[in-house]
Amino acid sequence: MSYTKVNYRDVDPVADGLYFLRDALGCENLGFSVVDCEPNWTGKEHDHANGDHEEVYYLVSGEATLYVDGDEVALDPGDAVRVAPDAARQIENGPRESTFVVVGAP
């Protein structure tokens, strides 16, 4: 089949509000995740230097801040930010729920 369709709500979360869709979609070279953030939630700081894996964070709804190597990047719905593999990144959610789509690839 030349396509795969999946609803993220049909995938078991790997953590509270974090849904990895790569396997469910059958992706071979692309990571695709949805993050539903509770108000005032803070994600884990991390990087992807070992895997040379860049990511794009796209804010679907809500408001949040993405910290990249200590820089504060305020996000509104519709904003997308590309983060280099070796850059430290961390999401901090605002006072209401938000939803992110995170896409990554080597």
**Domain ranges (residues) in the chain:** 11-96
Helices marked H in the chain: 22-25
Average pLDDT across the chain, whole number: 94
Q: How is domain 11-96 classified at the CATH fold level?
A: Jelly Rolls (2.60.120)
pTM: 0.92
Residue 94 confidence class, pLDDT cut points 50, 70, 90: very high
pLDDT of residue 106 exceeding 90, the answer is: no
Q: Which of these, 91, 106, 67, lies nearest to 16 by C-alpha position?
A: 91
Neighbours of 12 (CB within 10 A): 7
pLDDT of residue 70 exceeding 80, the answer is: yes
Tell me the residue length of the chain.
106
